[in-house]
Amino acid sequence: MKSTALPAVLAASVLAGLFGATASAHADPLNPRDPDYCGNSADILLCAQQQSTYPSAAEMAYLNAIRGQFPPGSEARRLAAGRTACLEFPKHPTGLIVDQVSVYLQIPKPTAGAVVEAARTNICPKVEALG
C-alpha cells in the first residue's frame, strides 16, 4: 500500500462516520440547542407544527399509538400536539394541556387525554409533569 493511500482511506472512513451520524440525528423538541426547539416560541403549537424534521422513533411510536383514533390524513398537527405536550408538561397541569390539545385537534377531551398520555409515554417519558 502506498503511503498516500492510507490517509485517503482514513479520511474516507471518518467522512462516512460523520455522514452516518448526521443521517441518524433528529430534532429534540426538549433541547434548546436544537434548531427546531419551540420552547421560546410565541405560538408553540404553530412552531411545533412547522418543524422541518421527520419524526424520531419515539415520535413514530406515538403516532402509531394514536393513529386508530383518527381518520386517515396528515399527521403533522398530531405530531405537533405531541411535541408541544412534552414541552408543556413541566409548565402546566395535564388537564390544561388536554384542553388545549382538544381545541387544537378539534377532538373530544377523552381522545385528547389519550393523545396527551401517548405523548408522555412515547415521546418524553422522562419529563416530569406539573400535575
Helix (H), strand (E), coil (C) string for 97-114: HHHHHHHHHCCCHHHHHH
pLDDT at 65: 96
DSSP 42: S
Count of CB atoms situated within 10 Å of the CB of 51:
19
Higher pLDDT pick, 5 / 66 = 66
Phi-psi region of 62 (alpha: psi -120 to 50; beta: other; left: phi over 0): alpha
Q: pLDDT per residue over 8-36, tens digit each?
A: 444 444 434 433 333 334 555 556 556 55
pLDDT at 71: 82
